A and B are shown apart, each in its own frame.
Chain A
Amino acid sequence: MHLISPPSEDRTVASNWRVLTRRTIAHMDSNYDDLPRKIVNNMIKQLAELLSSCGVGGTVDNADVIRKQGAEKLEALFTAAQKLNKMIGENFVSEDLMVSVIRGGTMFDGERMENAYARAGSKPGQRAVVCTTDLGLYERKKAKGVGKMLIKPKVVLRDS
């Protein structure tokens, strides 16, 4: 199953360049092997900071709690994300794919997103997006073209 129309030659050359470059460049990072741990640590630090800023936490530091109880989960999540990164970035030439999320505060657009808590028959109307709960898949078009949303990201709207 192939996506959209066949690419033009220019695009094919650019896509091949992208694939070759991403395959090579990933290993140029001196901390490549240590990357998952560093990313997860950074994620834990940010999450703990967000929770603390909201006044949420236990009796101990949030970061320690998250690290002790959820580091493995987060590493597994990071590994799955990295696998998808390689799949669409280093092994997919025919289309230029990327996952998509919708920033909070963006007005809902049925063409580009999907309401995660839509009730049957109700219309989302002009409501802002709070957050994205499910990643979407987007095909980036070349110059002056329009991209296409292959999987719409699911979003939570205000007052849902």
Chain B
Amino acid sequence: MLPALITRPITRIVDIFSPPKVEDTVEQPQRTSLDDQVPTPSPEMPRHPSQGHADASGDNSTLVHNRTNGRHEERPRPAPRTGAHRPWLSREDHLQSRLRIQTARLRSLENTHDQLASEHESLKRDHRQLLETHQIALTNLHGTRMTCKEQQQETDALREKLRDSSVLLDVRNQEMKVAKTFLSREDLFSASDVFQSVRDLNSEIMQTATYFAETLPLKRLRTSSAEEVPEGPYKSIFVTLVLPQGPEGVDVGSLELALQGFLTFYTSAVVNTWGFSSTSSWCDKLYSKVCETGMLIGRVLHTIASN
């Protein structure tokens, strides 16, 4: 029964100890503390196959060398323990002692294993969560890329529209510049300026007529009749004011009125005319027709052309 008890734990220890790092890191401190309690087996003791070969050769320094994991440490060699000094030690006690130590180590390793397993589980869980997060992020990234692509297309379409709108705006601006010329309602002069200019012109007419009537050496040379007076807008003026006067001379007041009438009529023609060329007369006629009928200029032109 005893070999079976011994063999099982030792086998497990060997299996677990096989990774050298775990053995070294976990076992080292316990080994040191327990070694103080466990007596070194005497040369008479039967040795387990798993024990170091150094024991067989009886070289204690080699044993020390193994326990320090390859480092050469020179420690004072303990005094040889012989069965004579520790007669109470038996092989069974020794093995039980070893068993306790190994069991303790085993428990410790099992605890460590459990902790590592727990950490492993936790890490696996974290890994799984990270994978899920990564997957979600990938999905989001894909969605964002699609959205970005759609928005890029929309932006391109909008840019195209903007370009079209800019071209249209330029055209409209040009049209507006032309139209603005015809939409202005601003006068360079006020109405009072115009009134004053009319009064000034009337004053100029009166002064000129007075000057001519008073300074010109005008005498009646002969009698005349209305038939001799040229036809036109001035005929009635001169026939009415100048002809009826006596043969001796011309009344200055009447002549002044006649000259004033003549100059007023003549001046009004100068003020109202568009010009003295045939084109001016034609444009004046066109504008008068537009003002009278309210027709568009195109229709007026058509009417004039038809006539």
| A interface residues with partner B (beta carbon < 8 Å) | 1-3, 6-7, 9-10, 12-14, 16-18, 20-22, 25-26, 28-29, 31, 35, 39, 43, 46-47, 49-51, 53-59, 62, 65-66, 69-70, 73-74, 76-78, 80-85, 87-89, 91-101, 103-105, 130-137, 140-144, 150-151, 153, 156, 158
Contacts and interface: CB of A to CB of B under 8 A. Distances in A.
B286 to A, nearest CB: 9
Interface stretch (B1-9, B31-39, B219-227): B219-227
Contacts of B223: 55
A5 to B, nearest CB: 12
B83 interface: no
Given A13-B183, A133-B260, A151 B242 contact: no
Contacts of B255: 56
A100 B224 CA distance: 31
B88 interface: no
Contacts of A9: 183
Interface stretch (B53-61, B115-123, B138-146, B204-212): B204-212
Interface of B: 181-195, 197-198, 200-202, 204-208, 211-212, 215-224, 228-230, 233-243, 250, 255, 257-268, 270-277, 279-280, 283, 287, 290-295, 297
B277 A98 contact: no
B75 to A, nearest CB: 119
Given A35-B276, A97-B194, A7 B185 contact: yes
Interface SS, B side = helix
A91 B188 contact: yes
A58 B219 contact: yes
Contact of A151 (B198, B208, B297): B198
Given A53-B224, A53-B228, A81-B270, A142 B236 contact: no
Given A2-B191, A12-B184, A130-B257, 15 more contacts: A14-B297, A18-B287, A50-B230, A54-B229, A56-B221, A77-B201, A80-B200, A81-B267, A83-B197, A87-B197, A88-B194, A92-B194, A99-B271, A132-B268, A140-B291
